[in-house]
Amino acid sequence: MALVLYHKNRPEEQYQFLRVRLNEVYSFIEYRLQDPYHMHMNFMAQDVKTGLEKTFFAELCMFNDVDDGNSGFVATACEIVDGNSEGGRRIKHIFKDGKFPPDYYDAENCYACAERIKHPPGACYRAGHDVLGYGVGEEDSLVE
């Protein structure tokens, strides 16, 4: 589903979905957004032309009815990331000057995911920028 969005933005590229690992999916609730249910994940896909495997980041947001066939989720971001991409800062909160950012909002980074989830630059995705206050379910803490 997320790759459909990626291909729409970059019609000259063609990737085939390979796999997603369960412990690379984070679901969270961001209270400050109107549609608060989100998922961030990394998954692997293969370049159809070159055969090269790439790691992707996807953000899904629950906009629709849960019975629509995709559990109501719509892809709101899909980008290629790599080992140098920023990890989530859920555990390791690092702030410039050691202070909370203004309005507890950091547009550059994600504070909902753990470090191992690689993220594209912050402007690419909509959720996770709230420094505090995520409703994260029990099942998510099991995969820390």
Interface with Zn ion (CB under 5 A): 40, 88, 110, 112-113, 128
Minimum distance, C-beta of residue 114 to Zn ion, in the bound complex (Å): 9
Minimum distance, C-beta of residue 69 to Zn ion, in the bound complex (Å): 25
DSSP letters for 71-120: TTEEEEEEEEE-TTSEEP-SSS---GGGSPPGGGB-TT--SSS-TTSEE-
Question: Residue 53 or residue 115: which is nearer to Zn ion going by CB?
Answer: 115
Minimum distance, C-beta of residue 6 to Zn ion, in the bound complex (Å): 17
Question: Residue 40 or residue 60: which is nearer to Zn ion going by CB?
Answer: 40
Dihedral pair phi/psi, residue 140, rounded to 5°: -75, -35
Q: Which two tokens mark 38? A: 């989100």
d(CA 39, CA 29): 9
Question: Residue 46 or residue 55: which is nearer to Zn ion going by CB?
Answer: 55
Question: Residue 25 or residue 113: which is nearer to Zn ion going by CB?
Answer: 113
